[in-house]
Amino acid sequence: MRDLPDLYLMRHGETLWNAEGRLQGALDAPLTVRGVRQAGWQAELVRDVAGLRLSSPQGRALRTAERVYGANGFTVDPRLSEIGIGVFAGRLLVDLQRDHPDLFAGPPLAWYDRCPEGEGLAALALRCRGFLYALTGPALIVSHGITLRMLRVLALSQSIARLAEGEMRQGAVHLIRRGQCRTLRHPEDLD
């Protein structure tokens, strides 16, 4: 991938469904008290960073972005939506793993290609590549775990097979600059 401007990747704050282990995909759940605190940490971490401020259109990302950027301080981009997981949306991951072990065999996160009626990783990569190619300057991005992982591997010119490597921590900022990724954490982010 061509040289990209600095990317400040922020996963939305924890939701009730994250805490339960329930998959969200295109569905939504409210932020927890912890999730609101995490968004506040991100706001402090990027307070003085200049750049285009963007968010996924999904509710949990919008609520995080409002806290990070202010209510009218960002642009919504549908390409930043979370990967579609079809009929798995709203289900507990442990239940799916128990009921469909064959779908979860193989490399971590490969099951996203096996979600009935799901988007699939190739389609997500195409969507994310288009987003990245359109950037003309530094970008601060509030999005979702799998979408942000895809943006990261593409921006670092890595194989999609590396999607599961590393974390996409809520409450942190994952800075991609000059082909390197580092995680910025708030001093209160201790766990």
Sort strands 7-11 and 173-177 into parallel, antiparallel or unpaired: antiparallel
Residues 53, 111 contacting (CB under 8 angstroms) = no
Task: Report residue 108 as tokens.
Answer: 């971590």
User: Which one-letter amino acid corresponds to residue 15?
Assistant: T
Q: Which residue in the list 12, 14, 119, 144 is annotated as catalytic?
A: 12
Query: How far is 95 from 177, CA to CA, in rounded Å?
Result: 39
H or E element: which one contains 98?
helix 93-99
Query: How far is 41 from 173, CA to CA, in rounded Å?
Result: 9
For the question of residue 20 being annotated catalytic, the response is no
Sort strands 75-76 and 52-55 into parallel, antiparallel or unpaired: parallel
For the question of residue 14 being annotated catalytic, the response is no
Q: Which residue in the list 14, 82, 119, 144 is annotated as catalytic?
A: 82
Which amino acids are annotated catalytic? 12, 82
